[in-house]
Structure 1
Amino acid sequence: MYVVMNRLPIPAGHAPAFEQMFTASFEHMKGVPGLQRITLQRPSKPDQPYVSTMEFENADAFRAWMGSPSFRASHAVPDGTPEGAMGRGSVIETFDTIADLNFTS
């Protein structure tokens, strides 16, 4: 599995708008080849970033998504979005999963 983690610093006053816009963008992710899961984590402390994770079958599936219409649609900022609502300076990290213990399946 190939995991993409995006750390998104969002100003506290924009958190509700960000959460709504970000989770609405998940609609564009349905049917993306190789995409297995998307999550958005809200920080438990005000000085921490939000964290989004995407789990793909492999790095090639992730790279293919980056060139797709789904990628462009999911990153489009809707008209009327308040300035700063999407934050600035996100940090993207990628990982190859080497171990996975799932207690739910």
Structure 2
Amino acid sequence: MITVANRIFVAPEFAEQFEERFRARAGLVDTMPGFVANHVLRPTKLGEPYVFLTFWESHEAFRSWTESDAFKQGHARSGSLPREAFSGPNVLEVHEVVTSSDPRF
């Protein structure tokens, strides 16, 4: 099991629009083999990033998603917010789950 955390820096004045974008997401990732779950985490301090956290059964499952047509379709919507909505570059992190209190992991 792996997690993929995409840390996304959003300008405060665009936070509501950004959150709505994820609420109205296409959901194409939900049907991908090896996909487990995702969570969108809102920062509690000004200037910190949102974290889009996904769980995958394997590195291969995640890689297949990033190479799929569904990935391209789902991310084509990213142009819905202007460039100034993002206050810094995204930071992508991949981690292996070593232990978890959740029995699914």
TM-score, structure 1 length as denominator?
0.86
- Give the Å deviation of 1:80: 5.4
Q: Distance in 2 between matches of 1:83 and 1:46?
A: 19
Task: Give ranges in structure 2 of 5+ residues lacking alignment.
Answer: none
Deviations 1:12-64 (Å, cap 9, x if unpaired)?
Answer: 00001111112322522221110000000000011210001110000000000
Aligned residue in 1 for 2:56: 56
Q: Matches of 2:80 and 2:91 in 1, distance apart?
A: 25
1:20 is the counterpart of 2:20: yes
Gaps of 5+ in 1: none
- Could you give the per-residue CA deviations for residues 51-81 of structure 1, whole angstroms, max 9, x where no partner exists? 0111000000000000111211221136653
| Identity value in percent | 29
1:96 is aligned to 2:96: yes
Root-mean-square deviation (CA, aligned residues, Å) is 2.1
Question: What letter matches 1:97 in structure 2?
Answer: V
Tell me which stretches of 4 or more aligned residues in structure 1 moved more than 2 Å: 22-26, 77-88
Q: How does 1:36-55 map to 2 (within 5 A)?
A: 36-55=36-55
Over 3 Å counting, the alpha-carbon distance change for 1:66 and 1:80 in structure 2 is closer
Instruction: Please state which structure has a larger fraction of its residues in helix.
Output: 2
TM-score (structure 2 length as normaliser): 0.86
* CA distance in 1: counterparts of 2:80 and 2:24, whole angstroms: 15
Aligned length: 104
Conserved? CA contact 2:11–2:84, under 8 Å = yes
1:25/1:75 contact within 8 Å kept:
no
The answer to whether the 8 Å contact 2:18/2:81 transfers is no
